[in-house]
Amino acid sequence: MDITEDGELVCSALHNTIARVKVDTGTIVFNNSVPQIPEPRGVAIASDGSILVTDMIKRTLHLVSPQGAWTKQLFSVPSGVHRDDLLCSVSMDGTICVCVTLRGSVYILDCLH
């Protein structure tokens, strides 16, 4: 989960679902099914409000619009790389770091600009 600049919580759930909720009122902004992401695991908010979502089954990173619509796939874990979980983070300069955890250690796979 991550929090947008305007204080809304964005999180992933099982079964293709991405949700955005106003924290102060509990109002659901959207609760969308995104079929291209079968098992969303983690989210990060980009500076433009776009949502980055990792998928545990496909081992991919996806770009979702601020309104919750799938845009495109950004990254796929190279074959042969085993992982416990796929993670992503967005730095202050907009760099997206894609990492995996393996037996308690974190490895950076790529940084997208």
Domain at 104, CATH number:
2.130.10.10
Q: What is the pLDDT along the chain (113 residues), one digit of tens a residue?
A: 899 988 999 998 878 899 999 999 999 999 999 999 999 988 999 888 999 999 988 888 999 999 999 999 998 887 777 666 788 888 878 888 888 887 777 888 778 77
Q: What is the pLDDT of residue 83?
A: 64
33-39 — which CB contacts under 8 Å span 24+ positions? 34/62, 34/64, 34/68, 34/69, 34/70, 35/70, 36/62, 36/70, 36/73, 37/12, 37/62, 37/64, 37/70, 39/14
Q: What is the pLDDT of residue 109?
A: 79
Report d(CA 91, CA 19) in Å as an integer. 22
Give pTM, 2 decimals: 0.85
Q: What share of the chain is helix, strand, coil (3-state, %, to 5)?
A: 0, 55, 45
Show the domain range for 7.
2-112
Q: What is the pLDDT of residue 33?
A: 93
Q: What is the pLDDT of residue 40?
A: 92
Q: What's the structural domain count of the chain?
A: 1
